[in-house]
Amino acid sequence: MVRQKPLVVVTRKLPDVIETRMMELFDVRLNLNDEPYTAAALSEAVSGADVLVPTVTDRIDAKVLAAAGERLKLIANYGAGVDHIDLRAARERGITVTNTPDVLTEDTADMTMALILAVPRRLTEGERVIREGRWPGWSPTWMLGNRVSGKRLGIVGMGRIGQAVARRARSFNMSIHYHNRRRVHQEIEAELEATYHESLDQMLARMDIVTVHCPHTPATFHLLSARRLKLLQPHAYVINTARGEIIDEAALTRMLRNREIAGAGLDVFENEPAINPKLLQLDNVVLLPHMGSSTIEARIGMGECVLINVRSVMDGHLPPNRVLPEDLGF
C-alpha cells in the first residue's frame, strides 16, 4: 500500500529550488502570488493541512490553531524567530513547532556590522547628498562622523548571532560587552574578550554602541524601555536587527529627534511593515526593510532546514530544530 503524501501548506513564495523539492516530496499547496494570508485565509488553509510552513508575516495564534483539524502535526516555521506563533497553544494541541536556526546567523551578523559602521560614519546621509546633487566638494569639517575602533559595544543577547557580531566587532578593535539571560561559557568569553554585565542597566549606561540580538518574548517586550533608553549616553548609537518590539520605538524616536542619543540603525520595526512617520523625517537613523537574512544562500538554507524538519516528523522522528516554550527565555 502506497503511503499518502502529507499535505504541506506554505504561506509565502519560497525559492524555486525549495518549492520544487517540496513538490517532489509532499502534496504541497503553494502561495504563488506571495501575498500574505489574511487571518481568515490562514484559518481556512490550515484546516486540512498536515504541516504548515509559515513565516514571520503570519500570526499563528490560538484562534488559527483552533481552526486546524486533527491532521495538523507540525508548524515548520520558515525563519528563526517564532514570536508570531503561540507555542503553548500549539503544545496543548499536540503540534510540534520547528524553526531554522544557524543558517541565517552569519548574514544577520554581517548586516548588523554594516549598520554599526554605517550609522556612526553617516554613510546613508552622504549617499543621499550625492544623489540629490547637494555635495559642495570636500571640506575638512563637513559630514564628520565617529570611528568605531576602540569603542565599547554592548550586545543584548549573546546567542548565535550575538557571538557572530562580537567576532566581527573584534576585528574592528571594538571592546565587547554583553548582557544575557545566562553568562556564556568562559571559553567563549575568552575567545571574544567579552565582559559580562549581570545588570542590563549598568551596561547600557557605559556603552558607545548597543546592538540587540535577543528573541522577542513577553519577557523582552520593550526590554529597551523609555527608562532604559534614557540611561544611554548622548553619543551612543542603537542597532536592532532582532525584533522591533524589543525596543520602545516611540521613546527611541523621541530621543533621536531631540538628539538625546547620537543615532540608530534599524532593520526591524515595532509595527512593521508600517514605519513610524517620525522616523522617516530623521537624518540620524538608518532604516532597512527587515533584510538582515536576505541572501540567496540564507533563504535556500532556511528552506532546506524546513525540508529536514518536515521529513523528520513525517518519518516519526524528533526534528532537529524543535522549539519549546521554555527555550525562549532571555
Cα dihedral 200, 202, 204, 208 sign: negative
Report whether 269 contacts 244 (CB < 8 A).
Answer: yes
Query: 178 is written with which cell numbers?
Result: 554583553
Report whether 90 contacts 66 (CB < 8 A).
Answer: no
Residue 177 appears among annotated catalytic residues: no
CA separation for the pair 41, 37 (Å, rounded): 6
CA separation for the pair 110, 231 (Å, rounded): 27
Query: 161 is written with which cell numbers?
Result: 548571532
Give the number of other CB atoms < 10 A from CB of residue 110: 17
Residue 88 appears among annotated catalytic residues: no
Write down the catalytic residue from 59, 167, 222, 290: 290
CA distances from 60 to 13, 42, 200, 256 (A): 18, 8, 31, 34
Write down the catalytic residue from 183, 272, 304, 311: 272
Query: 72 is written with which cell numbers?
Result: 495538523
Write down the catalytic residue from 243, 249, 270, 299: 243
Residue 290 appears among annotated catalytic residues: yes
Q: How many helices (H) and strands (E) does the chain have?
A: 13, 12
3-state DSSP assignment of residue 17? helix
Please give the positions annotated as active site: 243, 272, 290
